[in-house]
Structure 1
Amino acid sequence: MIATKIGKKSGVPDNYTRLGEYIAAAEEKGEKLHQFWIRNCDAGTNIEDLDLALLEIEAVRRQKPDIADKTYHLVVSFRPGDQDKLTKDDLMAIEAEYAKALGYSDHQRVVGTHINTDNFHMHIAFNKVHPETLKVVTPHRDFKILAKVSRKMEKKYGLAIDPGMTDGKERDPKKLSSAARNYEAHTWQESFQRHVLKHREELLEGLGKAKNWQEAHKVLAGYDISLKLRGNGMVLIGPDGQAMKASQLDRSCSKKKLEERFGVFEAQQTKPRSKGEYLTRTKRHYKPRPLVRHRNTPALWRRYLSTRKVIPRHHSLTARVFRNWKIFLLMEAYQDPLAMVLTIAHKKFLLTTLGTNVSNIESLNKYLSNQYPVDQFPVKTQGR
């Protein structure tokens, strides 16, 4: 079984009544209503109670006029043969498990199972507005919740197993993109993406609590991150212009997912709200820094930064050399043992973590390996 959230389309009004009537009518060609029930409505639980139940649900939803998306539409698709294994009580129990996991146990909902020639499936239309507290519930990272419940229900009822995207081989959320790996291989400096992923859990926690675009911008700005539209998606941008797809932070941060939560994208407010009061303060700055840290790295880094200041920004070979930490170290390695050690350490780090071939001048590498074994010098790498 596969559980899929059907997101609200941008620019299309949220019409719960229309969705409820669609579930009850099974309007698609070849479809037929199989089972139907209503939860948490005083109007009743059966299809003959639908009209009153929809009025009741709409009355609750009208209490939150400022919320554009108040419906969570879930479709659970079953494999051929699963229908014969499930009674109505079983189907209602499965629906209740999804509701509990998503935080909708006490929420109003209309549920119907549809039959067509090759696909038995269940529609669940949750009212995201709690009927008593009026709190609007939007599950965070729900794709994992849905996959977990699906695997549990398959096992419990002996259904065909349908591995979801969270099962088996899943993308490593902390794996750098090729662009970030190339940046680090060519500069030996921490990329913006590494900075973002280093604070991934904090960012996701903050974004999970955000209620609108400006609150989301505020969370990101605290880590020197800007969120902007690019092409058909969204990107996170650092102060030096490096960028990464927002979805590389987490699937829940894609343009589609964020607009489902907050509506059409709104740019960050850059003007102060009032005199002397700005939108946010940066608590985790992104600054280019060496990938590998040694106890004497700061002295070399300061020398490198001071050299950059006095070299004019033009396209000469000298300017390019001294505006790149990697090349600066290679040049310094001929006369400074510490630079030699850091050169070996950076190469070892990149080969270990990125699988990147960063071989340089062969004679220099051979000389460094023979004269300055890296094991003699304790080196600390970023994030280790």
Structure 2
Amino acid sequence: MRTLKRSDYAGLVNYLLDPQNKQERVGDITITHCAAREPDVAILEVQHTQSLNQRAVSDKTYHLVVSFRSGEEPDARTLAAIEERLCAGLGFADHQRISVVHHDTDNLHVHIAICKIHPTRHTIHNPHNDYATLARVCADLETKFGLQRDNHLPGRRGAQSAADDMEAHAGMESLLGWIQRECRTGLVKADSWPDLHALLNAYGLAMRERGNGLVVSDEHGTTVKASSIDRSLSKARLEARLGPFVLPERAHVNEPASQESQPAGRTNSKPLTPRPGKAPPESVINDHTQEPPQGDRKRYRKAAIAGRIDTTHLYATYQQEQADARSLRAPAFLALRDRKDREIAAAKRHGRLQRAAIRLAVRDRMTKRVLYAAASKSLVNEIARIHADYQQERRQALNQYRRLAWADWLRDQAQKGNAEALAALRDRPGRGAVTGNTLGGQVQAGASQTGGDITKHGTVIRDVGGTPLRDTGDRLIVGNRFNARDLRTALMEARRLYGNRLHVEGSDAFRQAIAREAGHLGESITFDDPALEQYRTEALSQPQAKEEHHEHTSANRSRSGQPAGRGVQGDRAARDGAGQGGAESPQRGAGPIGVRPPPESRNRLRDLSSLGVVRIPGGAEVLLPGDVPDHVEQPRAAADHGVRRPVPGDRQVNAALAAVHKYVLEREQKRISLSDIPKHLAYDGFQGPASFGGLRTVDRQVLVLLQREDTIHVMAVDAARAHRLKSLRRGASLTVGPRGGITTGGRQR
């Protein structure tokens, strides 16, 4: 691979960081094994690493998605440990990567963008049999962290897997799934070829040979492999059980369908037609003698999967809108293209008139050249503007007339406030059970359940007063990280949706906290659980305490309202105990709960009003020098922050690193086509002799080029050092000392 277009690492990370106008999407952002701590700078660093390998022909980016079951919300330390273990299992332990947590679906998931080029060896790593490796590692992680068990290796492959994907993601019933549900049992039990063909004919199907196997087709020519329906229906097993294959006496599958029965859209295969110069096969001859199918027989129709809710009217509206979009898309694109051509022709005509006016009005040759250049530049800019406007309008038209799957159309309608479409989304099969901390009850008539981001299974994600809540229709999911304000907001929203009597499910800590907050609110909220109701009554009789954050509140809590830079955890490779559940207490001498505090922590001023006299209860208890805080009567030098060097996290250093990586990446890209350009690397802290290669300015940052043998090292310098180096000639000898100091002829620069 000679370019970076195939491995668009920047495009992938920018997609992961894009909030997409959603209230809850982007969570924690973690950068690993990069010197940069900002995503934009880390992208340049990864692209530079990828450009150092010019021999690899495969993709240089590995995109890994880690998804959790509905209701599971591991904390930041657990997510860090899981990411570290998965990357190590795939062989990417030392590789650069950026991970982003997303909250915009029914399942918490983490995207990990991994650079497959090793940062020091510059070799590419392609994991072998990564599906099996991930399945084994995920099973171990589920056991270690107590997560719900899942199936990690697909049990179905080929056509069966594609049919399942179609029904799960698009919400449309596939031909393969319909045959398996309607007549697979009868096909497996058929005792002869005539019985098997008769059963298929009753459902509007027919079986014929294709290649070395058998296929089953419907009236419109859509085909599936017979062995995909059931393994016992393969040609070898059927012939072993029923004898050699026999064509049906009267086949109908390839009969052209009428306009009324032909569904919108393309079919998967074409009707079987005889080749020129050859006699048509027997199945085609028999097609013309087949009577039209009777109306009372079951026939496959490509439609939405049937559920508890009747979606006939919705599906008819969906088909009509898709047909209208198909008929309007081409004329809209044609009108945009014609208008673009007219505007370009008008701009060129205006340019010719300008040149003619210059030729007639100006006599000086030099003035003419200047005016001609200005007119040409103006024409080029005008044509570029026309093309940009055309591309933007074309994208808008494509979005307006885009083709939507049934599930996507339901989601789009539900987003617009269609309650019937929202109910159909929630009725789709494949929706998992609601788990976690939830509030529920009897849905109140007239309570609006829209007004937020909606997932493909009808879960509405709302931001109510800064508190993210998930509404599944009959449950309100609070989540595992909450505080008192979140609980009060959830109670008020649950009362609006379900009335005053609520049903609570979740952890014991959540149930007690929600009952306590209900008692503090003093509202007419009751619970159907007698234990919670008693706890609420006791809290109601007590004076309301000060608002304290619940123990589940995390300092690293991620919300989409935070800036993109927040939540960046940095390099986690050096962390110890990343998989442990809790963090070590930062206080000195803090013991476990229930242990008496040390002497210096007792009898503080806040308790002075409740103390009688100052006394020492035990004669052996005295204040030792070690009990006194370090800053009391301990002389030490005062900090002078004015002379401190900038640390790697400062904005100036980040800008300098970005300029270095940008220049190195640009030179390495040009080196692909120009062999005389030497290899460029970012300054890695080497010490010793070098040659002065010149100064460069990138994004207002001055860079010095230090040449050693056939490699040029790029270092960022300040304005004062750049002024001193400006007098050197190219190729002058210099010495690089500690911390990047440059000496020429015994003089420090």
TM-score scaled by length of structure 2: 0.20
Q: Which has the larger radius of gyration?
A: 2
TM-score scaled by length of structure 1: 0.38
